[in-house]
Amino acid sequence: DFVSNSETGKIYVKTGHPLVNAMIPMGLVTLTGISSQYTFSTPANDGYQILPRDSADIIQTGVLIFTSAIVQSNITTTSFDLSWSVSDSSSTNCNYGLTNGFGTVLNNGGNTLTHSMSLTGLSPATFYYVECYSINGSDTAFSSIGLYSTASNSSGVIRPYFNHSVDNSFSTGVDAQDINTAFNDTIAAYMDLAQNTLDICVYNASDATIAAAINAAYNRGVAVRYIADDDVVNSMLSSLNSNIPIVYRDPAPAGIMHNKFIIVDANSTDNSWIMGGSTNWTNPGNLFNDYNNIIFIQDEAVAKAYTMEFNEMWGGVFGSSKLDNTPHKFIVGGSDVEVYFSPSDQTTNQISKVIESVDYTFEFGLLSFTRDDLAQTIIDKDAQFGVNIRGIIEDVNTTGSEFANLQTNGVNMRSHMGVSNSFHHKYAIADGNIAGSDPIVLTGSHNWSNNAENESDENTLIIHNATIANIYLQEFEKRWGELGAPNAIDELIDIEISVFPNPSAGKVTVKSDLEILQINLYAVDGKLLSVNDGTTIAIDTEGIYFVKVITNKGSTVKK
């Protein structure tokens, strides 16, 4: 998003554009580009875009400029650190406060390219607006205003649940829970905890048990608010007390209100809960039949972030009209947790970062996957030495589905199409059983699609926690085994890919009955040395090497 002379619009770059993955400039810029408009509104008075050609079209003001984004770290209940870098040696400063009018100035002085400062004496579970800046003589570089959270004093309990069987044989200590017919009872039970506020933001609902819990909350004096989508049946809403206020998504912006979250007592240290996950409240469809997950988190700071997003929509702002205006990083029970809302928060970029962070294994399970850029990130990661990626997709034949693309490029894929009940999950697991890495779970309402990224209202949780990652892995392994096809790597071993001669005098040839798409050559330390399209590889230096052979049925590694 950009603002110029009080007018707003978007800077739009397509996949593959030279600016993709470049740092978004901070401070004032002169922007040149092609003027465009993308809207479904009538009259067409929104959706204005500027399409820059490359970095030369974004001219930053002043000689001193930011060369990195602001990074938050060391989050505690009373402090956090912010760090950044600039183009020339300069001082370290910031303005901060509880509003974007700030109120406190912090000057650390110094004269350096890289900057770090600690904000201390803060309050728990509180959001602070911060503007970092550096001064070199008469030149000052300002960051964009960011919103950052301290940690809460909440318990940090995280509880995922699934509505179909799981495979506890993959458990590393905490078993995943299949509560199938109790999905609605469980949601209702958390609503029963509400003492002051209950905010509900769900795409579609038709369950009497949940309706009764909402009415019970209202009847005991809880302030209840409900946001729903405008173009689905939502038959449950007619069962609610007529005094409970309901806001329907504005139909003007493109997209849908696709969230599935609740917030209980957001301002309570000990009784604040959020529920996320993939489940709509349709009975029996999403609650019992389709494959789904729900996840509950007891954390005041996270609940307050969800409330900020809720309030924005409660005020009638939906879809591409929303702003990136919530904190994103939290400490929950000692674990890093990230929260992103779509379409304002560049969620696809955050998903890409999770994929790029993988050291060994990555599993994903999705209803819909149509993003070319994420598919290419997975293909590139899967080609790396020692990385094993597996994926399950429900919608394999819809327009733009990445299933065939991933499979053709050697990613180990299984289709859920044709199986009774839909695979409605939207989760991913990075290094799920690799405690020495950074085990991550990503879950929420966000399908990996253009609609989710650019138009619809969605939420995504990224949880850095080995136990939670393993719990989701137990779900994935059960579905993977049910789909029945032999593991692609085992299949390759059975067919016996041949690497000869071995040892070699300088050239090796790889042979297989399968179509070989690519062969990567690695040093013994895992460093990628070459990428080869042919089946013969030249090796110049004596030593031990590994080849990763990527075929149309999967990949395997040979020494």
H/E/C letters for each residue in 141-182?
EECCCEEEECCCCCCCCEEEEECCCCCHHHCCCCCCCECHHH
Residue whose tokens read 């997975």: 378
pLDDT at position 402 is 98
pLDDT at 519: 86
Please enumerate in sequence order all residues whose Cβ is within 8 A of that of 518, keeping only pairs 6 or more positions apart, or say none.
383, 410, 531, 532, 533, 550
Cα 203 from Cα 228, distance rounded (Å): 5
Tokens found for residue 254:
């493109």
Structure-derived torsion over alpha carbons of residues 178, 233, 201, 313, reported in degrees to the nearest 10: 160
C-alpha to C-alpha distance for 243 and 456, rounded to whole angstroms: 28
- E strands of 242-387, at which residues? 246-248, 260-264, 273-277, 293-297, 329-332, 335-342, 361-366
Quickly list DSSP for 359-393: SSEEEEEES-B--HHHHHHHHHHHTSTT-EEEEEE
Number of other residues whose CB lies within 10 A of the CB of residue 221? 10
Give Cα 522 distance to the centre of its chain.
31
Give the pLDDT confidence score for residue 102 in this predicted structure.
97
The β-bridge partners of 459 are: 341
Please state, in angstroms and rounded to a whole number, the distance separating the CA atoms of residues 216 and 210.
Answer: 10
Angle at 301 between CA 207 and CA 277, to 5 degrees: 35
The CB-based long-range contact list for 314-317 (8 Å cut-off, 24+ gap) reads: 314/225, 314/227, 314/247, 316/247, 316/250
Residue corresponding to tokens 């109120």: 103
Gap between the Cα atoms of 235 and 216, Å rounded: 18
Of the candidates 445, 468, 482, 469, the one whose C-alpha atom is nearest the C-alpha of residue 361 is 469
Q: Which amino acid is at 525?
A: D
Half-sphere exposure of 114 (CA within 13 A, CB side): 1
For residues 50 and 30, the answer to whether their CB atoms sit within 8 Å is: no
Are 369 and 402 spatial neighbours (Cβ–Cβ below 8 Å)? yes
The pTM assigned to this predicted structure is 0.86
pLDDT tens sequence for the chain (559 residues): 788 888 888 888 877 788 877 777 776 788 899 999 887 777 888 888 999 988 888 887 778 999 999 999 999 999 999 999 999 999 999 999 999 999 999 999 999 999 999 999 999 999 999 999 999 999 999 999 999 999 999 999 999 999 999 999 999 999 999 998 999 999 999 999 999 999 999 999 999 999 999 999 999 999 999 999 999 999 999 999 999 999 999 988 889 999 999 999 999 999 999 999 999 999 999 999 999 999 999 999 999 999 999 999 999 999 999 999 999 999 999 999 999 999 999 999 999 999 999 999 999 999 999 999 999 999 999 999 889 999 999 999 999 999 999 999 999 999 999 999 999 999 999 999 988 899 999 999 999 999 999 999 999 999 999 999 999 999 999 999 999 754 343 444 444 566 666 777 778 888 888 888 888 888 766 677 888 888 888 888 888 888 888 887 777 787 7
Quote the tokens at residue 553: 């049925």
Q: Which residues pair with 295 in a beta bridge?
A: 160, 276
Cβ pair 145, 128 in contact under 8 A: no
Can you name the residues that pair with 34 across neighbouring β-strands?
51
Domains in the chain (CATH in brackets) are 2-60 (no CATH), 71-149 (2.60.40.10), 158-482 (3.30.870.10), 495-558 (2.60.40)
Please confirm whether the linkage preceding 25 is cis (ω < 30° from 0): no
Enumerate residues 6+ apart whose C-beta is below 8 A from 375.
369, 402, 405, 406
| Cβ count within 10 A of residue 402 | 26
Spatial CA neighbour of 363 closest among 203, 487, 227: 487
Would you state the pLDDT for residue 539? 84
Query: Per-residue DSSP letters for 506-540?
Result: SEEEEE-SSPEEEEEEEETTS-EEEEESSSEEE--
Residue identified by tokens 């509950």 is 296
